[in-house]
Amino acid sequence: MKQLTKKYALALHGGAGAVAGRDYTTTEKHLGDLARDCEQQLAKGTKALDVVEFAVTELESCGLYVAGRGSAPNSAGYIELDASIMHGPSRAAGAVAILPGFKNPVGIARAVMERTPHVMLAGAGAKAFARDQEFQEVEDAGNYYVLPVGVTPDDLSSAAHGTVGAVALDLSGSLAAATSTGGTFGKLEGRVGDTPLIGPGTWADDQVAISCTGTGEHIIRSGGAVAIACAIKSGVPLDDAVKQVLDEIKRLGGDAGVIAVSRRGDIVTPYNSEGMKRATAASDQPIETKTFE
Ligand code: ASP
C-alpha cells in the first residue's frame, strides 16, 4: 500500500509499571534525548527497523528501565531476558526468550530474524546462538545489573514490572516495532511474558507498529498487539482499537500500556496503569515526554 505523505513518526516507552508519587525526572530526560536522536535519524532517512533497534539497544544498555542492564533476577536468582523485533513491510520477525546474561537481547532478536529461518530462539539454544554470533555477554552480573529508576528493593518481591519498546514510521512509509524486558519481578524460572511473543507483545505490518507493556499474562490472554492490528484491518480507528484491547486487559485483571504508530504517522500512547514512561516525536509535531497524564 502506498504511503500517503512523506512523514516520520516515533514513540518510545520505558514501561507501564510507573508508580504515582515516584520521581521519573531522569527517565523523562533520557527518553526525550533518545527521541531526539531517533528523530534525527528518521529525518535523514534511516529505516524504521534500524531506528527501533537503536532505541531499544540504548534503553537496554542504560540501566534506567527494567530491561537489559536494569533487569532483576527471577525467583531462582538469575536474570532471564526477553526481546522481539518486527519489520512491517516484510512481516519478518525475530525474538529471544529466557535468554541469560547478554547485554543487548534486541540485537540478538534481530539476528534470529535475519540469520536463521526461525522467529524465536529460547533458553539454551538462544544462548548458544548469541555466543556463536559473538554478541556481548555480561561477564560480571553482580556489578553489571542495577536497580532501575523508580524501582525500590521492596518491588523486587512483588509483581512490579517495566519494559522498553519503540515503534517507528520512516520516510519511505515502512513501519517497525521492537520490545525488550527483564520481565516481572520475582517471576518463576522459565516464565515467558508477552514481550518476546510476535503477536501479543510486538507487532508491525503495513498499517501499524505496536509495542505493549504491562502484565504479560493478561496481554497474552487479550491477544495484545495483534488484536489491535486485526481491529485496524477491519476498519476500527487506531484509538478505538487500542482502547478495546486495553479494556479487555483491564477486564481480565491486568494493567498495560501501548505505543502505536500508524502508516499515516498518527501516534497513540494510552495506558490503564498508574503511569507509563514515554516519548513521542514526528515530522509534524515536537518531542513530548511524559510519565503520567
Ligand atoms: N510485559 C512485560 C512482561 O510481562 C512486563 C512489562 O511490560 O512491564 O514480561
Tell me the per-residue pLDDT of 165-213, one tens digit each, with 9 for 90 and over. 999 999 999 999 999 999 998 899 999 999 999 999 999 999 999 999 9
- Indicate if the pLDDT at residue 3 is higher than 80: no
**Pocket lining: 193 vs ligand 1, CB cutoff 6 Å:** yes
Residues 26 and 91: their CA atoms lie apart, in Å, by 35
Provide the pLDDT for residue 30.
98
Kindly state the average pLDDT of the residues 118-139: 98
> 130 versus 154: which is more confidently predicted?
130
Provide the pLDDT for residue 158.
63
Per-residue CA distances from 127 to 135, 221, 245 (Å): 10, 28, 33
- Indicate if the pLDDT at residue 159 is higher than 70: no
152 is catalytic: no
Provide the pLDDT for residue 259.
98
Q: Is 10 helix (H, G, I), strand (E, B) or coil?
A: strand
Per DSSP bridges, beta strands 120-122 and 92-99 are parallel
- Indicate if the pLDDT at residue 17 is higher than 80: yes
Q: Are 14 and 277 in contact (CB under 8 A)?
A: yes
For residue 206, report the distance from its CA to the centre of ligand 1, in Å. Answer: 25
For residue 138, report the distance from its CA to the centre of ligand 1, in Å. Answer: 22
Q: Hey, what's the cell of 34?
A: 533518545
**Pocket lining: 254 vs ligand 1, CB cutoff 6 Å:** no
> 236 versus 17: which is more confidently predicted?
236
pTM over 0.95: yes
**Pocket lining: 273 vs ligand 1, CB cutoff 6 Å:** no
Q: What is the dihedral of CA 164, 144, 126, 110, to 10 degrees?
A: 40
- Indicate if the pLDDT at residue 108 is higher than 80: yes
Look over the chain and give the mean of its residue pLDDT values, rounded to a whole number.
95
pLDDT confidence tier of residue 151, bands split at 50, 70 and 90 = confident
pLDDT confidence tier of residue 86, bands split at 50, 70 and 90 = very high
Among the atoms of ligand 1, which is closest to the Cα of residue 219?
1
The overall longest dimension of the chain from CA atoms, in Å, is 51
Query: What value, to the nearest 5°, has the Cα angle with vertex 199 and ends 119 and 158?
Result: 105
Provide the pLDDT for residue 186.
86
Which strand ranges, in their side-by-side order, compose the sheet holding 256-262?
Answer: 202-204, 208-214, 256-262, 267-268
Kindly state the average pLDDT of the residues 7-35: 96
**Pocket lining: 218 vs ligand 1, CB cutoff 6 Å:** no
Catalytic residue among 57, 163, 213, 280: 163
Q: What is the CA radius of gyration of the chain?
A: 17
Residue nearest to atom 7 of ligand 1 (CA): 213
Per-residue CA distances from 214 to 92, 154, 183 (Å): 24, 19, 10
Kindly state the average pLDDT of the residues 160-165: 84
**Pocket lining: 17 vs ligand 1, CB cutoff 6 Å:** yes
Residue 290 makes CB contacts below 8 A (sequence gap 6+) with 28, 278, 279
Residues 268 and 79: their CA atoms lie apart, in Å, by 31
Kindly state the average pLDDT of the residues 66-79: 92
Among the atoms of ligand 1, which is closest to the Cα of residue 187?
9
Kindly state the average pLDDT of the residues 73-96: 96
Residues 120 and 83: their CA atoms lie apart, in Å, by 10
**Pocket lining: 182 vs ligand 1, CB cutoff 6 Å:** no
Candidate from 60, 82, 161, 188 with most ligand 1 atoms within 8 A of CB, to mutate: 161
Kindly state the average pLDDT of the residues 229-257: 98
For residue 280, report the distance from its CA to the centre of ligand 1, in Å. Answer: 20
**Pocket lining: 195 vs ligand 1, CB cutoff 6 Å:** yes
Among 99, 76, 95, smallest CA distance to 87 is for 95
Provide the pLDDT for residue 84.
98
Provide the pLDDT for residue 5.
60
